[in-house]
Structure 1
């Protein structure tokens, strides 16, 4: 049986990076167990608090954030941490070499209805900047590892260290992730798209025109029928695309002109972009490659178009 440690060593990952990844997974196993317990663990429902984005926090949002933060702060290799649930960057250890960003529980609005959610993470090396917040502001091309843990009927780790994408399934009998797909590839073409259609009236004209062409089916300019999917959790949407192809879109809309998108660059879009590109797909904003976006703040938002290469290229070609 191939272990994750063996796989990471074969990819010539430093022991320090392996340690950081294993600490993320240790916390993720705890999160997985609590999700399986559901109401029995007292983790359902919302708190009375809001995060820095102004979103009401679910109980397990807070629990998951604390589990990951505590696990990572205990690593001598982690210099700093940034999370969706933290207002500011959190210092780690002075001798650390890695910066970790994460969304502790993506799709947490799905918890109470027992639908898939996940943990998304990104790992970069510190630049040595004494200003921790500035240290994090690196383009996604600087990531040394990225991935997510999907909590669904089974708990699945999807990870890349820049040498392809692999999937690992948690075997609860032994408490370890077991390799189930070591060569994940996204088909270049697709007949599935995912977008929140309830926001259609707020989209920019190019997005409206593209989705209208998708809906036109065989009679439209694209010339084929598409099916629509929407789970309302980015981690589940991306997992479907990595499994069978598709395009996922969360474009800018006109409701909040000051916000260029809903999804966060540093701990949602960038790690997913690294995974998707490593699997042969594309991830872009409406105007540039996602991994080349120069971040200006930790909680920066961006529009997202990701998935099957040919379909993403078509989507962003509309002007």
Structure 2
């Protein structure tokens, strides 16, 4: 991104934040948080909940206002604005960080987690804390991990029942080299693009489909234009809540501790909302007549990922992290 474009985006974000800041807020200082998902989505509601907890913990010194629905831009752009300090906080999938922070590549690996429960055990423990700590070197403070569900392929063309069915198809992926290579290893063609462009791209045939979890497949409306969903569950990538280091450094140690505590305390709340939303979205999508392929042999999918692991898990640090995750019971 050019310097001029970065400055333009910073000015646009600043204008949006200034306009929104007139809304009534009880806190003395309101931290501005970005999310690409719509109002009511579990991640959005979790950050709102974190803000309430933060107000209580700081006696009204700090609060949070969430700018949902990509009001401040798509994830890649809001990451940069958070690094600049224009945006105070940001809820983002780990995928867009893969090209920036090496450690985020490991929990983003296909089939690295055996289940959502396995992911929770890993990300709630020492490995998760190690990954959060890695954000600081990139002008961000990692606060907590939220659920992103298991991601599976959906498309407008045909039911996918095997790896062979993917060959030659065009799928949108997050803007991450690893996800591009993952789709390529399965014989399909990856098209990185912002989340907000996916619906029209499927509708007009620019791409055949994309990959995501039940709630996102639902809330985006993608199920309306891509009526074949295969539960291959190739990714169980956590979401991360980060704060601008510039904002963090402006807080007292007491308030920094309150931010961390409020963020961690919002995680169980988010997971409760997420479980309920997953169930609700699945019921809605099945009722809409989407063809869901539930039973699939994951063996060939996992086997196809060997080149991806070889390419991205090169350093001894990352190899050790993969080993520790696989050994976590």
**Which bracket does the TM-score occupy, shorter chain normalised?**
under 0.3
* TM-score normalised by structure 1 residue count: 0.27
Q: Which structure has greater helix proportion?
A: 2
Q: Which structure has greater strand proportion?
A: 1
* TM-score normalised by structure 2 residue count: 0.26
Instruction: Point out which structure has higher relative CO (alpha carbons under 8 A, 6+ apart).
Output: 2
